[in-house]
Structure 1
Amino acid sequence: MRPDVSIEVDHVSKKYARALKQSMLYGLEDLSRNLLGIRSRHETLRKHEFWAVDDVSLEIKRGESVALIGPNGSGKTTLLKMINGIFWPDRGSISVRGRVGALIAVGAGFHPLLTGRENIFINGAILGMSRAELAARFDAIVDFAQIGDFLDTPVKHYSSGMFVRLGFAVAAHSEPDVLLVDEVLAVGDRGFQTKCFKKMGELRQRGTTFVVVSHNMHTVAGFVDWVALLKNGKMKRYDDPFEGIGAYSKLFLEDDGGIERLVSAGKFVEFSNVELTQRELMPGEAFSIVLPYDCKRAYDDIEVDIAIYDLRDPDLHYQGTNHAYDRRIDLKEGKGTLAIEIQNLQINGSLGRITVAVWSKNRTEQLFWWRVPVTFRGMPHSTGKNFVPIRFDVSSTT
């Protein structure tokens, strides 16, 4: 491994069995073969096995920040755990240089019967810190984790947010050369997340290498140098994070699984077979949705809530209800359709989601919720989140 490289993953693969019983049987088989000096069958798949990570190679330089993104079940966390040494690859090799800190699962590395104080010393020792280092940084760790009142309480009584605060505080103050972070930071409150990213920025300036697993595309776009997109265990590198985010979003566009629909538990209305015009829009085009419904009783003065999100930005493009347009909507008993047209969308070159929620009067019951990823195409020769229609006119006075 070159001196400027922190992590090298060389043609790594990891397989699992789909059923626990089968996995245990294969484990006993592999153990028996190893005891007898017979090579285990790691190169091929046995019945009911699949490649969770399949022939992945990547090289992360010292000080780089990289995001592993992809749908659930694509192999992100498995790859992260192999980099951390929790799992061994079935094929290939992984090399990591320096002290590694990891936040991969809430509560990982903590003994539930020991106190927060005791777990700080145990967890710090696991991360390679000496007792003298831990003693010198103890107050800073406790202050960062904000658990002073519960420092001598067994951690089995901690909330998931307290686990994350303490785990991150220990890992960050170990001054790691490499920090691995799974989605666990999503458990913390907004204020603590901001505090964590500020600390991560400080570590990054000192040359710490980061590998982050996240579904928060705003976090990815604003923090990392490049992304690795995984799907079905296969990986593709994108040096431009926004290009990688776009490819990730298109996975949902290519698969109807990206359309999420929730019908409430209400017994008197059912929405079905959502119809929409298109999922790729140019600035100025309209987006139409038709919601067929079947009401067993009438719903008067319902509220239809529309929200448009940008995947690259935590802020909304727009949110409003039919009442903002002084439009009353009543659902009559029987079958009918609710048609919604979002007119003249002037969003320029973005990847977003459109959400529709239908509520009974005064929002006492949610009748329907639906979300779909949408691509907003960009206009040539223009930049920015929005496209502004501008008229040009020229006249000659001679």
Structure 2
Amino acid sequence: MSEKREIASPDSEVLVKVEGLSKKFCKNLKTSLWYGLKDLVSGVSGSREERVLRPKEFWAVKDISFELRRGECLGLIGHNGAGKSTLLKILNGLINPDAGKVTMKGRIGALIELGAGFNPILSGRENIYNNGAILGFSRKEIDSKLDAIIAFAELEEFIDMPVQHYSSGMKVRLGFAVAAQMEPDVLIIDEVLAVGDLGFVLKCFKTIDTILPHTAVIFVSHNMPMVSRICSQIILMEHGVSKFQGEDVGQAIDLYYTRFANNESNVVFDEGSVVLDNVEVTNYTNIIDGVPQVKWGEEVKFDFALTIKDAKEIPIFNIIIFDKEQRPVALLEPNTKSDNLKLEGKALKFVISIPDLQLSKGIYSINISVMNKQGTPLLRVNNILTFQVLHEKEVWQPFLLKTSYLN
């Protein structure tokens, strides 16, 4: 592996270039130490086989390549263990890859681990100077930015206190303030922003918006609305490899959510008198990976089949739609006496129709809660069905409402 970092000229275009990057780890500590010793010897002799997996080894990152220019933001998404953090540590120079090449130009700011880069026994002020020096700034340059960094981090009262006494939120505020206010050419941000409170996170994203035209940003997050908001290109990682890569951020996010989708019941409460036999979407456009797709603005129908063991009365059904972030976004109107539902023995079948679906594009799931007319819970099942709404526009908001513009 070769890695070079150089000061970027104003007209530099590609700030990050990654070619065939791979990193393997060993699942067993003793074996890992033995392999490390062998690699040390073979590295000296020049016979190292970097791309060959040995027993108990696995690829944490495998053959990742991309280019990132000034003004672009690359989103790295994937479930836990996908290899995102390993890739970031390679890019930041914390670990060496087994194969591939990284070329990064200019000053690099990184916020990839809580408290990483801070000396815990030094004060916040002293750590600012240390981090600035590592980025290549002179003391005079750091002096000129010091007040802005402290103000952004909102740590005026605690800036001379040792960092080891900071809370996790204070460390994040200081880390982001240093990384962003120093105006690096490349800014690497991991999921640590999730630790901050909402007000600070919004301030961080406003800052990213400001510096992005002059910076290349690599952003890792499990928050897909944040990813779709700032990223111009994306890599979806799974088990160390790239499953999707390109500029279609919305398609990658859909694939990410599809990994969660399944039709297995998740019973939270079951009193025993009601059995959910089946539920399905009947008027879908297509099915991909078991997920029915329906078009925005069209009618969607859900067919339910249940067994009511105590057939004295038909219970009340509360059906809740959850969005891709697992937030409840809509409650379907519960059934009433006027709905004229009828039992056939102990079997109950009915169809719920939404005539004009205006949920925004994305993946949604349905939970059902069943209770008797006295309000006693009988059954609650999560994720009984997952479906996808199709639309050409990717938006944050859970609803895209039809409107008319009139003079």
TM-score range, shorter chain: 0.7 to 0.9
Q: Distance in 2 between matches of 1:41 and 1:58?
A: 24
* 349 and 193 in structure 1: CA distance in 2 versus 1, 3 angstrom threshold: closer
Q: Percent identity?
A: 36
Note the C-alpha offset of 1:101: 0.3
- SS of structure 1 residue aligned to 2:19: strand
Q: Deviations over 1:265-311 (max 9, x none)?
A: x89789998854144334311235678999xxxxxx99957233266
Q: Is the 8 A contact 1:68 1:228 kept in 2?
A: yes
Q: Is the 8 A contact 1:67 1:213 kept in 2?
A: yes
Q: Distance in 2 between matches of 1:59 and 1:184?
A: 24
Which of 380, 387, 399 aligns to 1:374? It is 387
Task: Verify: 1:319 aligned to 2:322, yes or no.
Answer: no
Q: Is the 8 A contact 2:50 2:98 kept in 1?
A: yes
Question: RMSD across aligned C-alpha pairs, in angstroms?
Answer: 4.2
* 14 and 371 in structure 1: CA distance in 2 versus 1, 3 angstrom threshold: farther
- SS of structure 2 residue aligned to 1:286: strand
* 268 and 210 in structure 1: CA distance in 2 versus 1, 3 angstrom threshold: same
Determine the structure 2 residue equivalent to 1:210. Answer: 217
Q: Which moved more, 1:12-21 or 1:1-10?
A: 1-10
Which of 14, 22, 34 aligns to 1:25? It is 34
Q: Distance in 2 between matches of 1:171 and 1:41?
A: 37
Q: Deviations over 1:192-212 (max 9, x none)?
A: 11100111111113x111111
Note the C-alpha offset of 1:151: 1.6
Determine the structure 1 residue equivalent to 2:230. Answer: 223
Determine the structure 2 residue equivalent to 1:396. Answer: none
* 356 and 88 in structure 1: CA distance in 2 versus 1, 3 angstrom threshold: same
* 371 and 120 in structure 1: CA distance in 2 versus 1, 3 angstrom threshold: farther
Determine the structure 2 residue equivalent to 1:285. Answer: 300
Q: Distance in 1 between matches of 2:348 and 2:317?
A: 15
Question: TM-score when scaled to structure 2?
Answer: 0.74
* 389 and 107 in structure 1: CA distance in 2 versus 1, 3 angstrom threshold: closer
Moved over 6 A (4+): 259-262, 266-274, 289-294, 335-340, 359-364
Alignment of structure 1 residues 1-398 onto 2, 5 Å: 3-34=12-43, 37-205=45-213, 207-235=214-242, 236-253=244-261, 256=262, 275-278=278-281, 279-282=292-295, 283-287=298-302, 304=318, 306-309=320-323, 318-320=329-331, 341=352, 343-344=354-355, 346-347=357-358, 350-356=361-367, 369-370=382-383, 373-378=386-391, 386=400
Determine the structure 1 residue equivalent to 2:340. Answer: none
- SS of structure 2 residue aligned to 1:163: helix
* 100 and 355 in structure 1: CA distance in 2 versus 1, 3 angstrom threshold: farther
Q: Distance in 1 between matches of 2:191 and 2:275?
A: 33
Q: Distance in 1 between matches of 2:210 and 2:117?
A: 24
Q: Distance in 2 between matches of 1:46 and 1:293?
A: 57
Q: Which moved more, 1:116-125 or 1:83-92?
A: 116-125
Question: TM-score when scaled to structure 1?
Answer: 0.76
Q: Is the 8 A contact 2:316 2:336 kept in 1?
A: no
Q: Is the 8 A contact 2:172 2:193 kept in 1?
A: yes
Q: Distance in 1 between matches of 2:380 and 2:202?
A: 35
Q: Is the 8 A contact 1:10 1:93 kept in 2?
A: yes
Instruction: Return 5+ residue gaps in structure 1 as ranges.
Output: 295-300, 328-334, 391-398
